[in-house]
Structure 1
Amino acid sequence: MESEFIIPDSIKSEIEKGLKSFRKKYSINSKLNNVENILNGIKYVFETHRFKKFNPSVYKEIKYLEIGVGLGGNLINSLKAGYDINGIEPSCDDEIKGRYQACLNLMIANGIKDPEDKLIDSVVENLPFSDESYDFVFSIAVLEHVKSVREALKESYRVLKRGGVMYMNIPNYDSFYEGHYDILWLPYLLRNKKMARLYLKLRGRDPSYLKELNFTRPDMIMKIAKNEMPNGTYDCYPHITGFLSVFGLIYFAFKTKTSNEFHVTQKLSRQPLLYKASYFISMVVVKTFMFCGFAKTFNFIYFKEE
Structure 2
Amino acid sequence: MPRVYDSRKRILVTGGAGFLGSHLIDRLLAHGHEVICCDNLFTGTKRNIEHLHGNPAFEFLRHDVTFPLYVEVDEIYNLACPASPIHYQHDPVQTTKTSVHGAINMLGLAKRVGSKVLQASTSEVYGDPAIHPQTEQYWGNVNPIGPRSCYDEGKRCAETLFFDYWRQNRLRIKVARIFNTYGPRMHPNDGRVVSNFIVQALTGEPITIFGEGQQTRSFCFVADMVRGLHQLMDTADEFTGPMNLGNPREFTILELAERVISLTASSSKLVFLPLPEDDPRQRQPDIGLATSEMGWSPEVDLDDGLLSTISYFKERLQ
Shared topology, TM-score over 0.5?
no
TM-score band by shorter chain is: 0.3 to 0.5
TM-score, length-scaled by structure 1: 0.41
Q: Of Structure 1 and Structure 2, which has the larger fraction of its residues in helix?
A: 1
TM-score, length-scaled by structure 2: 0.40
